[in-house]
Amino acid sequence: MRRAGTMRIEELGLIGNCQFSALVHARGEIVWCCLPRFDAEPVFSTLLDEQDGGYFRIGPAGGEAGVQSYRPNTNILETTFRTDTGSFRVLDFAPRFIHYDRAFRPVQLYRILEPIEGTPRIAIRCEPRLGWSKKTPKTVQGSHHLNFEGFANELRLTTDIPLSYLNGKPFTLTGRQHMALTWGAPIEEPLAPLCERFLNETTRYWQRWVKQCDIPPLFQRAVIRSALALKLHCFEDTGAIVAAMTTSIPESPGSGRTWDYRYCWLRDSYYVLNAFGLLGQFEEREQFVQYLLNVAGGAPGLNLAPLYRVDGSENLEESILEGWPGYRGEGPVRIGNGAARHSQNDIYGEMVMALAPIYLDERLSAERSPAALQLMEALARKAIAVAGKPDAGIWEYRTAWRPQTFSNLMCWAAAHRMALIAEQFVPEHAAEFDAAAGRIHAEVIANAWNAEHNSFVGHYGGEDLDASLLQMARLRFLPHGDPMLTRTIEKIHKDLALGDWLQRYSLNDGFGKPSVAFVICTFWLIEALAAIGRRDDARAVFERILATLSPLGLLAEDYDPTQMRMWGNFPQTYSHVGLIHAAFAASPQWAEVL
């Protein structure tokens, strides 16, 4: 009998290969996996329905949870189980390595069972479901495999374990065993040597990738884990970057804030690319440029939606699924996202910022093209045109729209950065962008500064604080010693604090007032404190935050400091991007410690 409402985000590990991903519970159960890509229907889904969702469990006969860890500097997950009769581990991974000068990333999931000591009794059961219907596929048994019929492509479980042992009944693990779940072309070669080769090649790939990363002297392990998690959010086939791997995990208990985040938010992509820039990894930017060129080419008048599917399409109508209880019974379960219909004026600035390094960083000069430069100019002009207009803003308010300060801040950033680029590459246009930047800058100060609160506020003429305005420091909207900037940072820190954590805002956004902290806002605070010279304070906050992370170092969108629980979709790109930026900001330079 499966129990409902017992799962916790903190008990989940992430595996993937930039084509698909899976979440593995500490019980040894794959609880979430969409195939053949992030925004497809789920094959395993107990994350959102612990009673009737699909799952793939390998664990002790008694059902005990194990202890999870990653192989050092990889995305290969180990779960170690200790029982009265013996101990064993399960290695979970999706193959990724360079083969024939290309990234090999098949839609295949491998699980290797390894006895450690004694004679552990284990149980295995693979129960996929036909997507959102939750129908059970027909199982057809072969000599060394099970075929699950009814999917859009062949789903096969190949193993060197006796098939009679795959019905959940306990058996004794006496040697190293292998399992491979494949979508599409099945495995036609001997399984054991294939698994071992893929494991070794994938280990080498990730460890080599980490060696090529720049990292700060402090918080190294947290940065490396965040970098590895971010890489798995990249859909390499098109260059899209998804916001999270899941849908419908609520922002807080009883909130009803259950959104589908398995898509590419253009805004998120900018922050992720910037984090990869800090890490010294640039191929993701090149791939995203191609994705953006494709999206922009299909957007008349460059009227970009805030988010798209990973293939660049816009069929994102939001709907609620009946018969799905949701994470811990906290429904509703949603697919699609109504924010795709929003006007979010900040995205034009973020797209210019995402592309700007191509023209400001000589290491990326090979990526320069007339098409990229024309797109940047068009995006900057679009940002200038929408400056001052009402929109849903960065937080995607589902109430009446107003001119959002952060949106206009990003419109200014688009004009400002484009002016810098134009000076070198299209000098005849530099004055146009420079003048626009000056005008928007003056409008933000005139309309968003609240003298009574002694701070910038969230929307023009408003009174509510907004943690996104901490980005003023990072964007260099004002000099770091400017009292208006300092007072805004201090006011946000004081009034939006939940212990060491920060809320996004305190206003009623149509779903009530938020009751939990938004993880990236705390990292924005750390970054802002470091920018204004309070690096010791920034470092102290960071160290206290690190003590509350999940055992694997993965982050969700939200955090409840009172219950010390994570909420929201998981893992969340925004949160890991924030950690990387904050770590670089709060850490000393290598020259200061070596």
Tens digit of each residue's pLDDT (9 = 90 or more) over 17-28: 999 999 999 999
- Note the pTM of the prediction, 2 decimals: 0.95
How high is the pLDDT of residue 244? Answer: 97
CA–CA distance from 558 to each of 32, 66, 208, 544 (Å)?
A: 19, 25, 32, 16
Name the residue with higher pLDDT: 415 or 288.
415
Quick one: pLDDT at residue 511? Answer: 62
Helix spans in 91-219 (H): 191-211
pLDDT for the residue 510: 61
Q: Are 67 and 79 in contact (CB under 8 A)?
A: yes
CB distance 583 to 210 below 8 Å: no
SS3 of residue 100 by DSSP: coil
Q: Are 457 and 402 in contact (CB under 8 A)?
A: no
Place of tokens 């530099």: 430
Strand partners, 16: 21
**Which tens digit of pLDDT belongs to each residue from 299-347?**
888 999 999 999 999 999 999 999 999 999 999 999 999 988 888 999 9
Please measure the distance between the N-terminal and C-terminal CA atoms of the chain and give it in whole angstroms: 57
Range list of β-strands (E), 73-107: 77-82, 86-93, 97-99, 102-104
Q: Where are the beta strands (DSSP E) in 404-563?
A: 449-450, 455-456, 497-498, 501-502, 517-518, 558-560
Per DSSP (E only), the strands in 100-202 are 102-104, 108-118, 121-127, 138-141, 145-149, 155-159, 171-172, 177-183
**At residue 6, does pLDDT exceed 90?**
no
Q: What share of the chain is helix, strand, coil (3-state, %, to 5)?
A: 40, 20, 40
- The pLDDT of residue 589 is above 60: yes
pLDDT band at 4 (very low <50, low <70, confident <90, very high): very low
Say how far apart CA 251 and CA 39 lie, in whole Å. Answer: 20
pLDDT at res. 433? 98
**Contact call for residues 106 and 29 (beta carbons, < 8 A):** no
Q: Is the pLDDT of residue 79 over 50?
A: yes
pLDDT for position 40: 98
CB–CB of 59/165 below 8 Å?
no
- Residue 508 confidence (pLDDT): 65
* Residue 381 CB contacts under 8 Å (≥ 6 apart), including other chains: none
Task: Give 261-307 pLDDT, tens digit per residue.
Answer: 999 999 888 899 999 999 999 889 889 988 988 898 888 889 999 99
Domains of the chain, first to last: 9-210 (2.70.98), 212-312+336-589 (1.50.10.10)
| pLDDT at position 400 | 74
Q: What is the pLDDT of residue 1?
A: 38
pLDDT band at 512 (very low <50, low <70, confident <90, very high): low
Average pLDDT on 459-469 reads 93
φ and ψ at 342, to 5 degrees?
-75, 155
In this structure, which long-range contacts are made by residues 369-378, counting pairs with CB atoms below 8 Å and at least 24 apart in sequence?
371/293, 372/289, 372/293, 373/421, 373/425, 373/426, 375/292, 375/293, 375/296, 376/352, 376/418, 376/421, 377/418, 377/422, 377/426, 377/429, 378/296, 378/302
CA distance 282 to 238: 15
d(CA 418, CA 414) in angstroms, rounded, equals 6
Region of 312 (left: φ > 0; alpha: ψ -120 to 50; beta: rest) is left
User: By C-alpha distance, which of 213, 173, 169, 194 is closest to 106?
Assistant: 194
The two structure tokens encoding residue 296: 């922009």
| Amino acid found at 134 | K
**SS3 of 488, please?**
helix
Nearest to 581 by CA among 273, 143, 194, 191: 273
Whether the pLDDT of residue 260 is over 90: the answer is: yes
**What is d(CA 520, CA 498) in angstroms, rounded to the nearest whole number?**
14
Give yes or no for residue 501 having a pLDDT over 90.
yes
The mean pLDDT of 138-144, rounded to a whole number, is 95
Q: How far apart (Å, rounded) are the C-alpha atoms in residues 393 and 491?
A: 21
* DSSP annotation of 464: -
Specify the higher pLDDT residue, 367 or 552.
552
Helix 405-425, helix 430-448: angle, nearest 10: 160
The CA radius of gyration of the chain, in Å to the nearest whole number, is 24
- Tell me: the pLDDT tens digits for 522-575? 999 999 999 999 999 999 999 998 877 889 999 999 999 999 999 999 999 999
Percent of the chain with pLDDT over 90: 83
CB 523 within 8 A of CB 544: no
Closest of 425, 435, 428, 504 to residue 464, by C-alpha: 504
Read off φ and ψ for residue 368, nearest 5 degrees: -70, 140
pLDDT band for position 509 (cuts 50, 70, 90): low
Provide the β-strand partners of residue 125. 57, 167
pLDDT tens, 86-125?
999 999 999 999 998 899 999 999 999 999 999 999 999 9
What pLDDT sits at residue 506? Answer: 78
The pLDDT confidence band at residue 60, using thresholds 50, 70 and 90, is very high
Q: Do 343 and 385 contact (CB within 8 A), yes or no?
A: no
DSSP 301-370: GG---SEE-TTS------EEETT---GGG---EEES-GGGGS--THHHHHHHHHHTHHHH-GGGGGG--H
